[in-house]
Chain A
């Protein structure tokens, strides 16, 4: 068994987090100078970029590990690549983490890498237990990451809320898993996929399934498990919020797809629940976002809304919907990252960014303003952006299944969402600051990053075929797994 070759990413990230753990032990608390910090950062960048290569190298791997509890297939490998990409992007904007105690930077990276590792395990998990374990592992890293903030009051509150709601949700999920296990007589997803469609109507199965999904809904911030999102985004350090909004969401989409793909589509009740939750999530997220003053909190609510769109894809449950959801995961990764990048760059001291603080951005940094504009339009789903193409694919899949009304509701939500995105854009392009602020000086790599983000969003929106093919390839195992 050549498990070394096809579990390369996991091993690599395990090693990387171990490396940071060791650094944590060796570093002397008193003597953190800028050189050491720079070294830590460079290491992180190096490891993160190397991680992408490792993931790419093993992208075609396929097989099982741990008595088939762990499945390596194109689906998981694509998501692992996405996660490594997400991590790399987040590390890129961690250059000036003034909001986290400098002595804790090693721990920060340790938690970040181990969280990524956990998410990678999650996307490969094929057994309830492995799912549960990796989910918990990623959550615990994040709880601490959130609480790490120097602005303790905010960080702690966010951490507490995240932790309480998260562990509540995972308790529910665990109970659901227990029910599923007890009715299916197996904890392997492929085995469950064989028996579940036949007994999908049974109360215990439905309860178990819905409870289990609750844990994933928490990851994805779907109503009613979304309530941590606004506070956590707002209270967490900007970089951590960015990580939660991107990598964590991507993994959430992955696991929800894998579990529901094995549940199959036999139950109208399940679909009804998903429809309800999807509609409520997007409506509630979009409505609540209108009233926000804090940019991160606004993005949190927009995340809730986007979970609603993802659920729309999930509930359709066919090949095109799965690939649409995978495509949308990519879209979320890119556009959320771009938006958060602007937040991070505009708040070098790590404070929260109020929307009216964006005033005059178009003059201070036209590039950042443009990045924000493109990212927000992409989030709103205006072509030619990746966000639009993602929505288009989802809607296509949904309408093919006959959910026209649902798509119209989603489009109305898009209109509502554009309203608050426009408010942000207005602040960036229209308002003038009370006192003139100095131009924002960006280093070349940052400009390159911003430029690449913009180009990616637009080009992937306009010429999405390559990405769609990848998404289709990744969705293949979900269909065959049935």
Chain B
């Protein structure tokens, strides 16, 4: 944690990779080339450009990667549009890590895992998937169901094809919403595909994507026989301080930025429906 919670440090963007028409992955290090701070998979950081604003992004690189931090950012607001327009070498300010991150050492330990992502929802999951790959022995089989609007909207497509598919006991199921020439994989929405693949119910599932996808995928999992205590998700909410004091992300008696953003589905039920 930086010495004072709200005071950022300088970060330099050393590489910008264009994944999809509206998603770019930025690699950030401190000016002297090191990682800004240590973090757990699923945690987030506040990136900001002076004068434009500050926004919370999940760290998509795995904690085992010690050279840099990566953020996959979709262009949808002031800060994100500005980032999409800037070039390599641009300095930004960064502070964090914030949030509780995925329980990789507790609930996931020694379990079979199921990752279900939609569109940019893969970004937070990528950090935990690569963490699992780096500590492969601690975890069981891993199924990944990932869907997007179209083929070129699949984030990190190269890494999925070349690395994840050849990993031991890694079953990767990709889908796109509508048929597209040059794509011979599955076509259809993620919730339907999950039911089709009929994944055994001993998995601990992690969901991340647009709220509508989470709603229907959760229903699909419950129909397959999953328990709510087996399913995790990360919540998308407006955050400003990141340390549970500024009140923005207060839902019920929880602060999404401090007590979340990763929640188990049964915990989500205890929250009033304001998210």
B is bound to A: no
Binding site for A on B (CB under 8 A): none
